């Protein structure tokens, strides 16, 4: 997490956090919008609290700002994450077709793992 997250003001709203993190990163609304896959006018509306981004867009905004959706929504820094948990929020930023392939791959790995676990093998008479 970036340093600006420690400076969250009590009562700070979603749009204010987006704006503060964007400015701290030296990004224009247009650049943040490009990175998140939305128009600058949408970023402006989020920052002004006109309306909130959908979950998928919020995830992309979080990735672009190098933070978490948890932080954007609630203002609290997430606990340090390791491994796969650290990668999951970034999946929203990749194309849907690639995401589907990743899910298929992970499903296959998990199924293969389940087959190798001794407690999963129950012999039937």
Element (H, E) at 73: helix 69-74
Give pLDDT tens digits for 52-78. 999 989 999 999 999 988 899 988 775
The pLDDT of residue 2 is 43
- Does 116 map to a domain? yes
- Does 36 map to a domain? yes
The pTM assigned to this predicted structure is: 0.59
**Do residues 16 and 52 lie in contact, with contact meaning Cβ atoms separated by under 8 Å?**
no
Range with lowest mean pLDDT among 50-54, 83-87, 110-114, 118-122? 118-122
Which pLDDT band holds residue 106 (cuts at 50, 70, 90)? confident
- Does 7 map to a domain? yes
Q: How many domains does the chain have?
A: 1
Tokens of 66: 């190098």
Tokens of 63: 């990735």
Distance from chain centroid for Cα 75: 14
Which range of residues forms the domain containing residue 112?
Answer: 3-120
- Does 125 map to a domain? no
Q: How far apart are CA 76 and CA 88, in angstroms?
A: 18
Q: What is the CATH number of the domain that holds 57?
A: 1.10.260.40
Q: How far apart are CA 44 and CA 125, in angstroms?
A: 66
Give 76-116 as a DSSP string. -PPPP--THHHHGGGGGGS-HHHHHHHHHHHHHHHHHHHHH
């Amino acid at each position: 997490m970036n340093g600006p997250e420690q400076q969250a003001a009590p009562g700070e709203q979603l749009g204010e956090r987006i704006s503060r993190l964007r400015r701290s990163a030296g990004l224009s609304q247009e650049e943040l919008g490009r990175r998140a896959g939305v128009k600058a006018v949408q970023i402006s509306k989020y920052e002004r609290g006109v309306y909130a981004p959908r979950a998928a867009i919020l995830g992309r905004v979080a990735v672009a700002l190098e933070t978490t959706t948890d932080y954007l929504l609630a203002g609290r820094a997430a606990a340090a994450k390791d491994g796969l948990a650290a990668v999951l929020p970034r999946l929203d930023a990749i194309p849907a077709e690639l995401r589907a392939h990743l899910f298929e791959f992970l499903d296959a790995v998990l199924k293969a793992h389940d087959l190798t676990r001794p407690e999963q093998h129950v012999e039937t008479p």
